[in-house]
Structure 1
Amino acid sequence: MINKIGKITVYVNDQEQAKAFWLNKIGFVLKAEQPMGPNATWLEVGPSDSEFTTLVLYSKAAMQQQNPSAVAHPSVLFSTTDIDAAYEGMKHNGVEVGDLMKMPYGSMFTFKDQDGNEYLLREDK
């Protein structure tokens, strides 16, 4: 049976811009980067060296050639233990963030990557 979520693919317009966004603005680490033929690179980033789950930053153009119906943006929810620090850190790094919402069931905010894809960060305590 399934025991972990391994990888989530995000289709990006420019892999180098996406890598810079996730590493420099979000604070992720580079987990893997290797060529996949003449027009594609396998590129994975994650929250830390020890985290198993990664984002695969895959070329949208390459996937549109391979399987056009697969190109969609997943709904990805990230977790943090300090929502206030994460919010201020992303704003400081120039990330486009939505309003910080503090609800009875949890605190969260949305943010956008370099391609305008939207994600949700919520606090887990």
Structure 2
Amino acid sequence: MITKLGEVMVYVRNQDEVKRFWEEDMGFVILQDYTEGAMRWVQVAPTEDAETTLILHDREFVEKNSPELNFGTPSLLFFTENLDELYDQLEQKGVTLGEKVNMEGNLFFNFADPEDNYFAVMEVKSSAGFFFS
């Protein structure tokens, strides 16, 4: 039985640049930066005890060794308790941001990493999360 989503694989061309983005611009923590032979992965998360983490894989290496995989960026929706504050912080850091959108009373915006992978953020006032109906 599946009990939770543990890791999301993101395939990137420049692991160091994308690692820097998640750590410095987004405020994530680096849980692991591991190399084994020619393979390297970087594990990042919003907090040290996050239940779900991102694994930044070297896209070129994975394409060469597992060409059958889907290399599209997953559509990820992050939650924040203060969307305006986060938006302002990211804007000051020069992060590529979309417009703030109010959809049925929920505030959203999207942002891009240095490789133009887009992600979304939604304001949620509790840790219970949000489900579309």
TM superposition score normalised by structure 2:
0.88
Q: Structure 2 CA distance, aligned partners of 1:86 and 1:69? A: 37
Runs of 4+ in 1 over 3 A off after TM superposition: none
- 2:51 counterpart letter in structure 1: F
Q: Structure 1 CA distance, aligned partners of 2:8 and 2:103? A: 27
Tell me the SS of whatever aligns to 2:109. Answer: strand
Q: Deviations over 1:65-115 (max 9, x none)?
A: 122231221111111111111111111111100001123330000100010
Aligned to 1:29: 29
- 1:107 counterpart letter in structure 2: L
Q: Deviations over 1:17-70 (max 9, x none)?
A: 0100000000000011111213x2121000011112100000110111122231
Aligned to 1:82: 82
Give the 5 Å matches for 1:36-51: 36-38=36-38, 40-51=39-50
Q: Structure 2 CA distance, aligned partners of 1:111 and 1:102? A: 16
Identify unmatched segments of 5+ residues in structure 1: none
Q: CA deviation at 1:117?
A: 0.5
Identify unmatched segments of 5+ residues in structure 2: 126-133
Q: Provide closer, same or farther for how the CA distance between residues 105 and 2 of structure 1 changes in structure 2, counting only shifts above 3 A.
A: farther
Tell me the SS of whatever aligns to 1:68. Answer: coil
Q: Structure 1 CA distance, aligned partners of 2:36 and 2:92? A: 35
Q: Which has the larger displacement, 42-51 or 66-75?
A: 66-75
Are 1:100 and 2:100 matched, yes or no? Answer: yes
| Aligned residues with identical type, % of pairs | 32
TM superposition score normalised by structure 1:
0.94
Q: Structure 2 CA distance, aligned partners of 1:4 and 1:119? A: 20
Q: Structure 2 CA distance, aligned partners of 1:73 and 1:95? A: 18
